[in-house]
Amino acid sequence: MIVVSKITKSFGSRLVLDDISFEARPGESLFILGKSGVGKSVLLKLIVGLIASDQGSISVGGQKVDVENPRLLAQVRRKCGLVFQFPALLDSATVFENIAFGLRARGLVEDPNLIEPRVFEQMRTVDLDTSFLNSYPNQLSYVAQKKVSIARTLAVSPDYLLFDEPTTGMDPVATAVLNELLKKLKRELNVTTIVVSHDIKSALACADRLILIDHGKIVFDGEPKNFKSSNVPLAIDFREGVSLGK
Amino acid sequence: MENSRKWVKSFGGMILLFLQCLSLTFKGKTRWKEVIEQIFQVGVRSLGMTITAGLFVGAIMALQIDIQLKDFGAESFLGGLSTSTTLRNVGPVLIAFLLSGKVGAYTSAELGTMEVTEQLNAIKLLGADPIEYIILPRIWAVVISSFLLLIVGLMVTIFGGVMFAEVIGVNALSYVENIPRIVTEWSIVLSVVKSFVFGVLIAVISCYKGYSARGGSVGVGAAVQSCAVTNLMFIILFDFLLSMTASVFQDLFGVGYL
């Protein structure tokens, strides 16, 4: 379980997160929604200890996230897999090397001959053509790069999967594929997933629970069916955004 | 005040990065295969530019010193004076300037892009240390490349001086024969030491500036600009400090310094 307790974070004089508390339960698919720039991505970076909060605490699988303690932080990070908003692939490495990177860095596969099957397995999971194995990221489409990024994260078998705006920059077909992938991961791996997004369609299709953030505060926390009938102004805006988009 | 704080932070950051890389090296964490790949990437591709620049630096020094010597009828000293000045000061500094522009800018831009596109964060989350995996091989590659390129460049400057001596009517043989009369082994030691120190400066400054880039493409641009300015400043500063140290050595131990 991931427990976020009374987290506050400011950048300069700008208060981004104001006393935020929530938890992601085991096996749950939790979507965190909000307008752009509301601090959703900051929340994910706080969870994996890439940045430190001003106040409050976070624990992942019972372990406190402490950016001042590299040993404990490494243990927390071993449990988490974060898929960044943009693919963040190593430009100078091939698809194979990118996906195998975490396996090698964490020493997860003792026999080097077993790395390749693991890489192939992840490529199949994300529906990525294995002919791309020796391609470099700049030779791939954006969607394919994103799939490599997901495969790289899945390869290290994290207990908690965190996605930062997974559908940003993707066309509707690719978004549908990604939504299916999220459902498949939940079905087959049953990992706890936190998805930060402003894509309400994906959220309603895939989430077990939704959290809505506005001006640094949680303004809605509940199941998708409750979200559809919520009177929270931002929830209404999000729903109307969907209906306007139809 | 804000600028002073930033400068102190940056200077401290560069020293810490250098010490961290030294510590990792002594722990045997350097991935030499990657270092060799990076040497090809940043070093070999700069060879042509270094040779071209070296030839012209040697020629310019020969020309300028010849103009001065003619006034005193002392053209026979051209080979020694020109080579000594080139080896001790002008050669290492000018070639280091060029390398800071090519190798330094390339390295800081590459690392800056990796930082702002979250590649370095991804490495951290996958259980690796970006300093060990990305920075350390680049630091050593730039140190080794810059040092070797500076040495090659300095040798070419001598050749450039000899070639141009013929053009301005000084016999090449007498030019070469005059070199050992003024250039001592200490001139060469000072030149090699400067080359190594400039190589380390270019490597550490370029890697630090790239690694500390923030804020998208604007941040990368600012990092490269800051890298260029800092490299030039530190090369001049260390040239002065090393020359002063050599001068003190001359006074204390009577070693050959012209």
Alpha-carbon span A100 to A218, nearest angstrom: 38
pLDDT of residue A230: 86
Tell me, yes or no, whether B33 lies in a domain. Answer: no
Alpha-carbon span A46 to A4, nearest angstrom: 9
> Model confidence over B221-254: pLDDT tens digits?
999 999 999 999 999 999 999 999 988 887 887 7
* Burial class (CB within 10 angstroms; exposed 0-12, middle 13-18, buried 19+) of B49: middle
Indicate the Cα dihedral angle B59, B65, B66, B67, nearest 10°: 110
Note which residues in 91-120 of chain B have CB less than 8 A from chain A.
113-114, 117-119
Domain range spanning residue B159? 39-243
Q: How far is CA B84 from CA B74, B78, B155, in A?
A: 16, 10, 12
Q: How far is CA B101 from CA B50, B97, B145, B211, B232, in A?
A: 12, 6, 14, 17, 9
> Model confidence over A191-219: pLDDT tens digits?
899 999 888 888 888 899 999 999 899 99
B114–A91: do the CB atoms touch at under 8 Å? yes
Q: Please indicate if any CB of chain A lies within 8 Å of the CB of B217.
A: no
Name the residue among A80, A88, A102 with its Cβ closest to that of B118: A88
Alpha-carbon span A180 to A147, nearest angstrom: 13
> Model confidence over A113-149: pLDDT tens digits?
889 999 999 998 888 888 999 999 999 988 899 999 9
Q: Please indicate if any CB of chain A lies within 8 Å of the CB of B127.
A: yes
Most confidently modeled range among A81-85, A102-106, A175-179, B204-208:
B204-208
Judge contact between B148 and B36, C-beta under 8 A. no
A105–B123: do the CB atoms touch at under 8 Å? yes
Note which residues in 129-158 of chain B have CB less than 8 A from chain A.
133
The pLDDT confidence band at residue A185, using thresholds 50, 70 and 90, is: confident
Tell me, yes or no, whether B198 lies in a domain. Answer: yes
Q: Mean pLDDT check: name the lowest of A3-12, A94-103, A161-170.
A: A161-170
The pLDDT confidence band at residue A33, using thresholds 50, 70 and 90, is: very high
Candidates A51, A90, A160, partner chain B, best to mutate (most B CBs within 10 A): A90
Nearest chain A Cα to B37, which residue? A92
Q: Which residues on A lie below 8 Å from B118 (Cβ)?
A: 84, 86, 88
B121–A156: do the CB atoms touch at under 8 Å? no
The pLDDT confidence band at residue A246, using thresholds 50, 70 and 90, is: very low
Nearest chain A Cα to B134, which residue? A90
Tell me, yes or no, whether B54 lies in a domain. Answer: yes
> Model confidence over B30-72: pLDDT tens digits?
999 989 988 988 888 889 999 999 999 999 999 999 988 888 8
Q: How far is A151 from chain B (nearest CA, A)?
A: 12
Q: How far is B229 from chain A (nearest CA, A)?
A: 27
Token pair for B47:
């060879």
Q: Please indicate if any CB of chain A lies within 8 Å of the CB of B218.
A: no
pLDDT of residue B99: 87
pLDDT of residue B209: 95
Give ∠ CA B31-B37-B40 in degrees, rounded to 5: 140
Q: Which residues does A128 contact at the CB level (< 8 Å), separation at least 6?
A: A95, A144, A147, A148, A151
Q: Please indicate if any CB of chain A lies within 8 Å of the CB of B40.
A: no
Q: Please indicate if any CB of chain B lies within 8 Å of the CB of A89.
A: yes
Token pair for B128:
């690796």
Token pair for B222:
């600012």
B125–A90: do the CB atoms touch at under 8 Å? no
Nearest chain A Cα to B118, which residue? A88
What's the structural domain count of chain B? Answer: 1
The pLDDT confidence band at residue B255, using thresholds 50, 70 and 90, is: low
Q: How far is A223 from chain B (nearest CA, A)?
A: 30
Q: How many CA within 13 A on the CB side of residue A225?
A: 0
Nearest chain A Cα to B125, which residue? A77
Q: How many CB pairs under 8 A join A and B?
A: 49
Q: How far is B177 from chain A (nearest CA, A)?
A: 50
CATH superfamily of A2-245: P-loop containing nucleotide triphosphate hydrolases (3.40.50.300)
Q: Please indicate if any CB of chain A lies within 8 Å of the CB of B166.
A: no
Alpha-carbon span A27 to A181, nearest angstrom: 15
Q: Please indicate if any CB of chain B lies within 8 Å of the CB of A86.
A: yes
Average pLDDT value for chain A: 88
Name the residue among A50, A86, A101 with its Cβ closest to that of B126: A101
pLDDT of residue B227: 95
What's the per-residue H, E or C state across B176-236?
HHHHHHHCCHHHHHHHHHHHHHHHHHHHHHHHHHHHCCCCHHHHHHHHHHHHHHHHHHHHH
- Residue A244 pLDDT more than 50? no
A105–B117: do the CB atoms touch at under 8 Å? no
Q: Which of helix, strand or coil describes residue B67?
A: helix
Q: How far is A242 from chain B (nearest CA, A)?
A: 30
Name the residue among A50, A101, A149 with its Cβ closest to that of B121: A50
Question: For chain A, what percent of residues have pLDDT higher than 70?
Answer: 98
ipTM of the modeled complex = 0.87
Q: Please indicate if any CB of chain A lies within 8 Å of the CB of B188.
A: no
pLDDT of residue B121: 93
Nearest chain B Cα to A81, which residue? B125
Nearest to B107 by CA among B137, B136, B138: B138
Tell me, yes or no, whether B17 lies in a domain. Answer: no
